[in-house]
Amino acid sequence: MSASLSYPISAFKSSSKARAQILILEPDIAVLDYLRLTLGDQYALSLFSEEQSLLDRLDQKEADLLLLALHANRDPIPLLTHIRCTKPNLPVIVLSCSAELRDLEMVIRLGVRAIVMKPFTGSDVEQAIEEHLATAEKKISPADSPREIPLNETHSFVRSSKRMRDLEAQAALVARADIPLLILGESGTGKEILALYTHMMSARSQRIFLKVNCAAVPADLLESELFGYEQGAFTGAVKTKPGKFEICSGGTIFLDEIGEMPAILQAKLLQVLQDGTFSRLGSRSPMKVDVRVIAATNINMKEAMANKTFREDLYYRLNGFTLSIPPLRERREEIPVFAEYFMRKSAKKYGREPLHFSQTLVNTLTEHSWPGNLRELENVVNRYLVLGDEKAIVDELSPSNAYQGASAAAAEAPTGAGLKAMVKSLKGGAEASAIAQVLEGVGWNRKAAANDLQISYKALLYKIKQYDLSPQDRA
């Protein structure tokens, strides 16, 4: 492109060194002029309408911040990747609109500091700039130090590992983009807490956050639960009732276990995500709502789509961005931190004095595999607080106990029964022990245990009966 077609660089030199050097790349000349008028008095601006002009400027002089506009007809990834390679410490704030949702995931992965959604005002952009500059000036404690962020009276977002710090940063960034969010992770890893944290970091934080467990509500009731019904829509509908989406308008709805949603409701949810409209059960009049949807599941979504149990178009609509929470066994350095947190939380709840964790107990907790993840850890800490018997907890979580059922089964194998019978007995004992451990980890919630074991609910009930398992087995 010739120089005559390029928007001229407008540099506003500051008389004071305190003014931050801000670079702005925006191909839309009208928007560029607006940013110049609204931000020019506060910052030393360099404005660009062409990528090459921006790159030339970056080669010549350092800057404090880059504002990068996304446009539907331009792929931002090559430019952003180049900037990340050549100027890894240059903070980037993206100016975007909902039409470019397909680009946002990669943009976030490439480490942008904030996203300002269009249409925006000058104050929106200024706020994002000031928040970054204020953070940059602070002497921040080591990034991997434990952090506990209260979310409400009963829940906090707790983390201490680098993986969870990265997840925290991504969630905070996605929160401002106000796009659909899909949270993946095993049962008990804290998907609801991450959803609540995202809500609290968003512009909707002062509005309602409402959770709906799609697996806990019977399929024939889930539609009326989500979308409401009109008087007379069915037997027993004596008066009109609003659904969760209607109640949650302006806020965030958290659809837990979204993979269990019946196919007929998946189509209706898709419509809500596409245009924000739905109809109550028994009504033909569409209703429009403004709701941010966060969904979570512990199932393999790719397999669910391949098996036609989950709509592919709904998956991609929900997947404005995906956050995957690692299981507790992959972030063992956080186990002592969570154990202390659960101890403080439970002690306050039950009016007791917190108990001390000896090094032996800490080592035992850290080495355990935690198939039930945080939910199992909290249950164990609660038992320790109530019983006050450290040895019982250590014995319960001892690696040898995990194979106790298998060893007993092997010992009971009939003499001369042959290799097949012995192997079958061994497998049965190990399976019984594994099932009992998962059930214990989820507090004997059979539905959650079936999900963790990736077997049907009926199959789990059969196994419980087959092995004569009960909550007392591991008490």
Question: Mean pLDDT of residues grouped by 10 in the chain (475 residues)?
Answer: 39 54 92 91 92 88 88 76 79 74 65 79 86 66 67 86 88 86 94 94 89 87 89 83 91 94 89 88 87 94 91 90 93 94 90 92 93 92 90 83 44 46 52 79 81 77 80 51
Q: Angle at the Cα of 7 (from 3 to 12), degrees rounded to 5?
A: 120
322 with 419, same domain: the answer is: no
pTM: 0.66
Kindly list the distances between the CA atom of residue 172 and the CA atoms of 53, 98, 188, 190, in Å, as whole numbers in the listed order.
32, 18, 21, 16
The encoded tokens of residue 29 equal: 């000349």
362 with 262, same domain: the answer is: no
- The set of residues, in sequence order, having a beta carbon less than 8 Å from that of 209 and lying 6+ positions away, is 195, 196, 199, 200, 251, 252, 254
**Number of independent structural domains in the chain:** 3
Among 304, 326, 348, which residue terminates a domain? 326
12 with 132, same domain: the answer is: yes
pLDDT of residue 419: 47
In a domain, 152, yes or no: no
Among 326, 343, 362, which residue terminates a domain? 326
* Residues listed for the chain: 475
Element at 25 (helix H, strand E): strand 21-25
Of the CA atoms within 13 Å of residue 394, those in its CB half-sphere come to 12
Here the CATH number for the domain that contains residue 35 is 3.40.50.2300
264 with 394, same domain: the answer is: no
In a domain, 156, yes or no: no
Q: What 3-state class would DSSP assign to 94?
A: strand
167 with 285, same domain: the answer is: yes
As beta bridge partners, residue 252 has: 209, 292
Distance CA 308, CA 182 (A): 19
Here the CATH number for the domain that contains residue 401 is 1.10.8.60
pLDDT of residue 1: 38
408 with 448, same domain: the answer is: yes
Distance CA 407, CA 427 (A): 10
304 with 334, same domain: the answer is: no
In a domain, 122, yes or no: yes
Any idea which residue has 């004992």 for tokens?
Answer: 429
pLDDT of residue 39: 92
Range of the domain at 100: 3-137
132 with 178, same domain: the answer is: no
pLDDT of residue 451: 78
Here the CATH number for the domain that contains residue 250 is 3.40.50.300
310 with 423, same domain: the answer is: no
214 with 343, same domain: the answer is: no
228 with 105, same domain: the answer is: no
25 with 132, same domain: the answer is: yes
User: What is the 3-state composition of the chain as percent helix, strand, coil, each rounded to the nearest 5?
Assistant: 50, 15, 35
Among 283, 298, 326, which residue terminates a domain? 326
In a domain, 147, yes or no: no
Distance CA 51, CA 338 (A): 47
pLDDT of residue 173: 84
In a domain, 312, yes or no: yes
In a domain, 153, yes or no: no
